[in-house]
Amino acid sequence: DVTDEWWRTAAIYQVYPRSFADGDGDGVGDLAGIAARLPYLSALGVDAVWFSPWYPSPMADAGYDVTDYRDIDPAFGTLAGAEELIARAHALDLRVIVDMVPNHCSDQHPWFREAVAAGPGSAARELFWFRDGRGPDGELPPNNWQSIFGGPAWTRVADAPSGPQREAARPRRGVGQWYLHLFAPEQPDVNWANPKVREEFEDILRFWFDRGVDGVRIDSASVLAKDPQLADFDPAAPPSPHPYSDRDEVHDIYRSWRAVADSYPRQRALIGEVWLPDPARFARYLSPGELHTAFNFDFLGCAWDGEALRRCIDATLATHAPVDAPATWVLANHDVTRTVTRYGRADTTFDHVTRRLRHGSPSDLTLGTRRARAAALLSLALPGSVYLYQGEELGLWEVEDVPDELRQDPIFRRTGGADRGRDGCRVPLPWSGSNPPFGFSPDGATGRPWLPQPDAWRDLTAQRQDGASGSMLELYRAALRLRRQLPGPGDGELRWLDSSPEALAFACGDAFACVVNLSDEVLRLPRHRAVLLASGELDGDRLPSDTTVWLRLP
């Protein structure tokens, strides 16, 4: 149906392929594992599945370093397997979203290998940002830009070798030009001012749309365009326009992408990961002829505090209303500390420069779980679309004691361990049984899960929670079921019912209300209403602290 704007109120489940389910027993998740668990996702009640990158990759950044945008990494499966997975998902009424990584590719991508081999001044180098270094021998990076993962945003390559060495040329610490990478050195930024780059990615979009995918999630969507001057700047007081963030040229790219999406008879959604603190700048990505929807992390970065949450909700709704785009709500993803752990701490703050959560105190997981349940019902009640990260529905916590030698996140390495990185939220899911690998890998598997699972996850397996009243899984299932059945949760216009800073009480539509108690005191619920669902136990008409309730209004 061409008019079906399913993404407006969708609940979208993020699958992180390495860690979802392992079909072949090597300890790494794969498409066969995902295919076997699609019925689980369908029963959970989500509308769409977003797959984090599944393309061939050396995995320097867990697949966000792509060597071939039109294929599947052999560790995950085959392209035919992906096509079959898309078809199976559709047969279960699940939409499919793939991850598009347009800001950078892998340093092993044929384009980059060719650029290194071809040497300075070549057309191949024009697909990236190569520059001579500064200093007498070019030994200093071309400018002062810092990588988002720590350290300089530049790496030097060897000068172009000639003769038979050419083919084998690989980037390494060298004496030649430098290339720009806003993320890890293994992720060279491509040059979006080059028409060849634009053609290539439009073709890649078509490639996946032709295979039936319903939308793309656009990684790091606001940093694609760079100021070709590549001048130094003070990150504490960046110039306007910014040298690489949110430049006007980037909107031009998405207008072309929209034309590609619109050339298909069935709606394909463009979903931007648009990290921008300024709501007006954010909303530009949603203007007519650009992206359908976008998410950022304001909600996720919000403290468990009534006033802060209300401000964030109001600001988010106010940003989206004028552009007639749905608000999006994200509590977790593969880049941040899991909710249970985050909410179990008194001192978590969000660092807007590094975009990392910071904390000092240990986490109280009982409190964290209670709040994560309350936050889940809040996010699923708010009007708009909602993104769930795999394992959130099981109440998994951050695995903070991953041994250093097993950590794979480049952030851990690039910061010398000062930032523990993102491995702790990427531990393979526990499905069944009482011991690792908890059904993540099939019986008789030869490989162990690529990151070790805590023994205590035996209580959090999907199997253990299935049908268990009061389990996190059953809470998500019930909420997603109601979200589908009723006008109200996830839908309509939000009206605040209470102005107290420590209670978030709002109605959506005529008959549905959501109340979150963020105070230390018991809250008395309004009369003449029926309880549809609660994140914790109620005592008559009393709502305990850190609890959310969904109500049917008379």
Q: Sign of dihedral through CA atoms 158, 159, 163, 169?
A: positive
Return the structure tokens found at 520: 């230390």
Residue 101 as a binder of ligand ISL (CB under 6 A): the answer is yes
The least CB distance from residue 439 to ligand ISL, in Å, is 26
186 binds ligand ISL (CB under 6 A): no
Name the pairing type of β-strands 547-552 and 530-534.
Answer: antiparallel
381 is a contact residue toward ligand ISL (CB under 6 A): no
Q: Which is nearer to ligand ISL, 24 or 423 (CB)?
A: 423
Kindly state the smallest distance separating residue 411's Cβ from ligand ISL, in Å.
Answer: 6
Which amino acid does the sequence have at 108?
Q
**Of 67 and 267, CB closest to ligand ISL:** 67
Nearer to ligand ISL, 220 or 341 (CB): 220
- Rule CB under 6 A: is residue 183 a binding residue for ligand ISL? yes
In DSSP terms, which residues pair with 349 in a beta bridge?
A: 358
Torsion sign (Cα): 400, 402, 403, 407: negative
Sheet holding 503-508: strands in order across? 494-496, 503-508, 512-517, 547-552, 530-534
Residue 456 DSSP label: G
- 113 to 152: interface string for ligand ISL, x by CB under 6 A: -----------------------------------x----
- Residue 107 binds ligand ISL, judged by CB under 6 A: no
- By rule CB under 6 A, what string of x and - marks binding of each residue 209-228 to ligand ISL? ----------xx--------
List, in sequence order, every residue forming a beta bridge with 104; answer none if it has no partner: 189
Query: Segment 458-487, which members bind ligand ISL (CB under 6 A)?
Result: none
Instruction: Give the separation between CA 303 and CA 309, rounded to whole angstroms.
Output: 7
Quick one: tokens of 118?
A: 């071809």
| x/- map, 356-375, ligand ISL, by CB under 6 A | x-------------------
Q: Quick one: 306 or 421, whose CB is closer to ligand ISL?
A: 421
Structure tokens at 105: 């590719």
CB nearer ligand ISL, residue 356 or residue 477: 356
Backbone angles phi, psi at 473, to 5 degrees: -60, -45
Closest CA to 220 of 131, 335, 135, 133: 335
Please report how close the Cβ of residue 387 comes to ligand ISL at its closest, in angstroms. 12
Closest distance between ligand ISL and the C-beta of residue 61, in Å? 5
Q: Which is nearer to ligand ISL, 22 or 335 (CB)?
A: 335
61 touches ligand ISL by CB under 6 A = yes
- Output the six-digit token pair for 472: 């996190």
Considering only residues 254-313, where is the footprint of ligand ISL by CB under 6 A?
275
Q: Which two tokens stand for residue 133?
A: 């270094």
Of the two residues 9 and 147, which places its CB atom closer to ligand ISL in the complex? 147
Q: Are 95 and 215 in contact (CB under 8 A)?
A: yes
Nearer to ligand ISL, 64 or 343 (CB): 64
Confirm or reject binding of residue 335 to ligand ISL (CB under 6 A).
yes
As measured in angstroms, the least distance from the Cβ of 127 to ligand ISL is 18
- Closest approach of ligand ISL to the CB of residue 191, in Å: 17
In terms of Cβ atoms closer than 10 Å to its own Cβ (0-12, 13-18, 19+), residue 137 is exposed
Helix/strand/coil (H, E, C) string of 284-327? Answer: HCCCCCCCCEEECCHHHHCCCCHHHHHHHHHHHHHHHHHHCCCC
Count of residues near ligand ISL by CB under 6 A:
13
Closest alpha carbon to 475 in 369, 361, 352: 369
Element (H, E) at 274: none
Closer of 103 and 316 to ligand ISL (Cβ): 103
Peptide bond into 403 cis (omega under 30): no
Instruction: Kindly list the residues in this chain that would bind ligand ISL in the complex (CB under 6 A).
Output: 61, 64, 101, 148, 183, 219-220, 275, 334-335, 355-356, 411
